[in-house]
A and B are shown apart, each in its own frame.
Chain A
């Protein structure tokens, strides 16, 4: 009994203590791809303004948006970082919990690169269909749709090195996975004719698209649920391994990694900005409008993030590997006006 009493007494004391001190820092969670950029901005925000440094947690786009949509109030986060646009279902979930006015801020683009060990074979002639042939669940072989049993890159493309297939791709909780599926697997599936074969085999178009995203399960393709450091460790241990990385991570580890070209284009901030390099995606953060004016520094942080000094072509974010958005001025205006999603642009 005395135990119970002291616990509840402490709880009451703690609750009253926090009620007295309102939260004065911006609270952010979400994509681990956006985290590095957000931490650069958060540090600079703390150093350059009188507001306290925002707290940035990671955990993935989906979990960040889920926490974002938990409701309005001090014990919910103010901003969700995301490496993909928010989904309809998530907007609906948000609305159900009273989070109706959301400001979508696009901060720039991120390239997705394929890289292998510095001392391993050179993969320099990739096209999306190679990746699909390597790790798709069902592939075209001699005009037939069969279960994938390719063991070696050279088996389906003589230009590629005679090396065993070993791919390390982002796990399904990562926003990167979605881009990888849409811009590499699906494109490769169409290009190899596997999709057509599936449809003529009696599948509906939607089912065929889903089937195209299935990855073989025999260990040639490994889902990495951790972050890029884990992928890097796997590549380090496997001469033939090919991993999927963000551009910034690759650029920071050029001494260990050798990048593969995609459709003949090497990934750089320039080729991604111009659209030549085919695999890239926009990065976002979402701001809870109801918290603007309640949490000090929230709007200032959003404006600071997308200012030319930070997110512009020569700012610290682009120095770290973010491909800056040519339409940044439009986004700046949107944040200044606090324009929410769904409102007329």
Chain B
């Protein structure tokens, strides 16, 4: 209220007694507070629903039913298996025979045959072959293997498959569950932490037990290196020039408008651009993190430029004037005084931009990073940039589309890992801002 209105409308009654109008105003304020509280509660509710559903669907991916068997491979068996075309199949058969022999020795009361054992096991041949190729001295000595059980048996341990829902099929018969129970009692099938999910690579659609997200984490890491190495220097240089040096004319206005518009362009458009420019015109390799990083750089640049300019703007002009006043050149002013003060804001913007790029799938669809991509870790830095690899969100997308319910669970597990990365990056951004931010 201004003095003038006070004069024209003299106060009636005492200040301490509450009149009707004050009551109304107080009620309006209370109502507004309640609206705000409800809005926050609704937001919190959805956050909790999201977190609970992600954790409930995703946590099972971190455990895996494993079959533990001591297994001896003779040199003759090794040579015979290696002479086959489908070597992994030969190892699987040997393994099944070994397991059957052990079960017979133990005298299980449940009837079983090799076909039932095969249904219980996941794809084991690859792991066994890899082990003996790397450790040829172990041939002929007993080795204990912990191998993934089949997707249905794994689901039975996690409650995804129950006796009521299981339908007899070549994947699992209802009668096999008796055998599973017996083996679980005997300690042969156990549920343990699934390290392979964190360190492993993608697997074929019939092998959900062997799938892991590790290799695609590396793919994402190399992409982020490219994004950081390109978008930070380019973005900061562009913003400093625009903010501190560029003359204010129609041309710089045009650039500014375009940068703001670029920030709003749907990410898939950058994917199309990447396909046309980087792969078809510049002949960079398909499915490579280098190209993925270049595409994501294009996407991240506007975000970084906008946040950098905002933090440069927030440095008070008095700092610049003081520096110029004691004789610093324009460039010295910027690099000795303005930039260090703006650094926390720039870093925060960069990290948020990187986090956004980390979760992006759409542009990767078009440059060949979505599908069945990588089975091995890259060999060294160059290979990390140019050898085909996937990325975390692309891997999650691929898994979610597969028929086996085991992969669906893995997709949720992948989301948890992706969220952990995103949260970590955001926390780093908050800490940096808290520590270095200056207020005026």
Question: Which A residues are closer than 8 A to B by beta carbons?
Answer: 2-3, 6-7, 10-11, 14-15, 17-18, 21, 23, 25, 27, 29, 32, 35-36, 38-44, 46-48, 52-53, 55-59, 70, 74-75, 77, 226-229, 248-249, 251-255, 304, 307, 309-310, 316, 319-320
Establish whether residues B170 and A14, one from each chain, have CB atoms under 8 Å apart when the complex forms.
Answer: no
Could you list 28 A-B pairs, sorted by A, with CB under 8 Å? Answer: A3-B237, A14-B282, A14-B290, A18-B283, A21-B382, A21-B386, A23-B285, A35-B205, A35-B372, A40-B204, A46-B375, A47-B87, A47-B125, A47-B126, A48-B88, A55-B368, A57-B370, A57-B373, A75-B286, A252-B404, A252-B405, A254-B167, A255-B167, A304-B85, A307-B86, A309-B86, A309-B89, A319-B206
* Alpha-carbon separation in the docked complex, A11 to B279 (Å): 12
Min CB distance A264 to B, Å, is: 21
Assuming the A-B contacts A25-B388, A58-B371, are A229 and B204 also in contact, with contact meaning beta carbons closer than 8 angstroms in the complex?
no
> Are A255 and B166 interface neighbours, CB within 8 A?
yes
Chain B 147-173: CB-based contact to A (< 8 A → 1; otherwise 0)? 000000000000001000111011100
> Which residues on A sit within 8 Å (CB–CB) of B205?
35-36, 39-40, 320
CB pair B400–A27 under 8 Å, yes or no, is no
Contact: A316 with B206, CB < 8 Å? yes
**Chain B residues whose CB sits within 8 angstroms of the CB of A27 once the complex forms:** 286-287, 368, 388
Residue of B nearest to A53 (CB): B375
CA distance A46 to B207 in the complex (A): 14
B372 lies within 8 A of A38 (CB): yes
Pick the residue among A75, A229, A309 that contacts B279 (CB under 8 A).
A75
Pairwise interchain contact A248-B403, C-beta atoms closer than 8 A: yes
Is B37 interfacial (CB 8 A cutoff)? no
CB atoms of B401 and A75 under 8 A apart: no
In the complex, what distance in Å separates the CA atom of A35 from the CA atom of B403? 11
Distance in angstroms from A294 CB to nearest chain B CB is 15
- Mark each residue of chain B from 378 to 420: 1 if its CB lies under 8 Å from any CB of chain A, else 0: 0000100111100000000000111111001000000000000
Q: Is the CB of A310 within 8 A of B382?
A: no
Nearest B residue (CB) for A318:
B170
A-B pairs, top 8 by smallest CB distance, nearest first, are: A57-B371, A43-B204, A252-B403, A53-B375, A39-B372, A309-B86, A36-B205, A56-B372
Q: Report B-chain residues with C-beta under 8 Å of the C-beta of A53.
A: 374-376
* A310 and B166 contact, CB distance less than 8 A: no
Tell me, yes or no, whether B234 is within 8 Å of chain A by CB: yes
Interface residue? B319 (CB, 8 A):
no
Residues of A within 8 A of B103 (CB): none
Q: Report how far A261 CA is from B403 CA in the complex, Å.
A: 21
Q: Across the interface, which residues of B come within 8 angstroms of A251, CB to CB?
A: 169-171
Q: Does B309 contact A (CB under 8 A)?
A: no
Which A residues lie within 8 Å of B280 (CB)? 70, 75
Distance of A72 from chain B, by nearest CB (Å) = 13
Q: A46-B375, A48-B88 are in contact. Are A15 and B402 (CB under 8 A)?
A: no
Q: Which residues of B contact A226 (CB under 8 A)?
A: 401
Complex-state Cα separation, A10 to B230, whole angstroms: 9
Whether A14 contacts B371 in the complex (CB less than 8 A), given A3-B234, A310-B86, comes out as no
Residues of A within 8 A of B36 (CB): none
In the complex, what residue of chain A is closest to B207 when comparing beta carbons?
A: A43
In the complex, A57→B87 CA distance in Å? 26
Measured between C-beta atoms, what is the minimum distance from A323 to chain B in Å? 14
Kindly identify which residue among A77, A249, A309 contacts B85, using a CB–CB cutoff of 8 Å. A309
B371 with A2: CB separation less than 8 A: no
CA distance A53 to B282 in the complex (A): 25
Alpha-carbon distance A17/B383, docked complex (angstroms): 10
CB of B233 within 8 Å of the partner chain: yes
Closest A-chain residue to B168, C-beta based? Answer: A254
CB-CB contacts of B419-430 with A at 8 A, as 1s and 0s?
Answer: 000000000000
A35 and B202 alpha carbons, distance in the complex (Å): 14
CB under 8 Å from chain A, chain B span 156-197: 161, 165-167, 169-171
Which of B129, B170, B230, B403 interacts with A47 by CB under 8 Å? B129
Report B-chain residues with C-beta under 8 Å of the C-beta of A304: 85
Extra inter-chain contacts (5) besides given A47-B130, A309-B85, CB under 8 Å? A3-B238, A17-B385, A21-B386, A38-B372, A55-B388
Q: Which residues of A contact B408 (CB under 8 A)?
A: 229
Rounded to whole angstroms, the CA-CA distance of A229 and B292 in the bound complex is 26
Taking each of B86, B89, B230, which has the highest tally of chain A beta carbons within 10 Å of its own beta carbon? B86
Known: A18-B283, A18-B285, A55-B373. A229 touches B169 (CB 8 A): no
Q: How far is the CB of A316 from chain B (nearest CB, A)?
A: 6
Residues of A within 8 A of B68 (CB): none
Query: In whole angstroms, how far apart are the Cα atoms of A320 and B150 in the complex?
Result: 13
- In the bound assembly, the distance between CA atoms of A27 and B130 in angstroms comes to 24
Complexed CA–CA distance, A2 and B245 (Å): 14
Q: Which A residues lie within 8 Å of B283 (CB)?
A: 15, 18, 74-75
Shortest CB-to-CB span from B401 to chain A, Å, is 5
Q: Which residues of B contact A42 (CB under 8 A)?
A: 204, 372, 375
- A127–B387 Cα gap in the complex (Å)? 50
Enumerate chain A residues within 8 angstroms of B404, measured Cβ to Cβ: 252
B90: min CB distance to chain A, Å: 10
- Residues of B within 8 Å of A307, CB to CB, are 85-86
Q: Which chain A positions have C-beta within 8 A of B405?
A: 252-253
* Distance of B302 from chain A, by nearest CB (Å): 14
B170: nearest residue on chain A (CB-CB)?
Answer: A319
- Please, which residues of chain A bring their CB within 8 A of the CB of B290? 14
CA–CA, A3 and B231, complex, Å: 11
The residue from A10, A43, A249 contacting B375, defined by CB atoms under 8 A apart: A43
Known: A21-B382, A48-B88, A56-B372. A228 touches B403 (CB 8 A): yes
CB-defined contacts of A11 to chain B, threshold 8 Å: 282
Asked if B100 is at the interface of the complex by the 8 Å CB criterion, the answer is no
Question: In the assembled complex, which residues on chain A have CB atoms less than 8 Å from the CB atom of B237?
Answer: 2-3
Question: Chain B contacts of A48 at CB under 8 A?
Answer: 85-88, 129
Q: Quick one: which of A44, A46, A59 has the most chain B CB within 10 A?
A: A44
Instruction: Please tell me which one of the listed residues A229, A252, A320 contacts residue B400 in the complex, with CB atoms under 8 A apart.
Output: A229
Residues of A within 8 A of B402 (CB): 36, 229
Q: Complex: how many Å from CA A84 to CA B126?
A: 32
Chain A contacts of B125 at CB under 8 A? Answer: 47
Which residue of B is nearest A21, CB measured? B386
Other-chain contact of B287, A40, A47, A55, A254 (Cβ < 8 Å): A55
Q: When the two chains form their complex, are residues A56 and B371 in contact, meaning their CB atoms are under 8 A apart?
A: yes
